[in-house]
Homo-oligomer: A and B are copies of this chain.
């Protein structure tokens, strides 16, 4: 019996081809700028068909490891593809205030996304949005107030908002909002978790989600936008409150340390 979720799969030929060539490049056998052997030669050498070899090369090409020109051959790329560590991460480290700037931008985008979803959303979109909403509402209703799995709730919450955004039918909007959300979660997930822990905040979120869901489903663009804006701005306020409390705790902890 195989472990659930994990699936043993025989390594595909193109993947092993790519891995072997990558290793050769790492080992310095093929150096940057150097011309690789021709495809036919590589087939012989690695003992695979040309189709599989070509798919393997395709993998390396889309990683930016080699560059290919017809009639010429494939060369090992000179530059390592640029890394994308997000410059905003640094901002968060040094300036907590950035969190509220982030919420400001997210509010703008969430608002527009809700507005577009209400005006452009297809029946299919509405079914999906409602499904996400029900999953979230059901979980909140069924789980006792104490036994709530905050991580799971956060995922359901996120899925709901994502469904709305996708109904806007603007991939750029989806992507931009997604990356801001990732940024938010990766930097201050701990704070966001507190939102779900406090009964008062949780009830507020529930009410707002219900209103947002209704506005979108009933096709009321301006209302949807306004509700989304309020939603985000009250999240901001709650985070401010939590922040203020944390500070108080921190101060008292510091005072405690001084005496120990």
Contacts and interface: CB of A to CB of B under 8 A. Distances in A.
A190 B105 CA distance: 29
Contact-residue bracket for chain A: 35 or more
Interface of A: 9, 14, 26, 28, 51, 54-55, 58-59, 62-63, 69, 80-81, 83-88, 91-92, 95, 98, 101-102, 104-105, 108-109, 112, 169-176, 178-180, 182
Contacts of A84: 84-86
A91 to B, nearest CB: 6
What 7 A-B pairs are tightest by C-beta distance, nearest first? A101-B172, A101-B170, A84-B85, A62-B62, A88-B175, A102-B172, A58-B58
Nearest to A80: B178
A54 B59 CA distance: 12
A171 to B, nearest CB: 5
A112 B101 contact: no
A172 B98 contact: yes
A58 B174 CA distance: 25
16 contacts: A51-B54, A55-B55, A58-B58, A81-B179, A83-B85, A86-B179, A91-B171, A91-B172, A92-B172, A98-B171, A98-B172, A101-B170, A104-B170, A105-B112, A105-B172, A172-B180
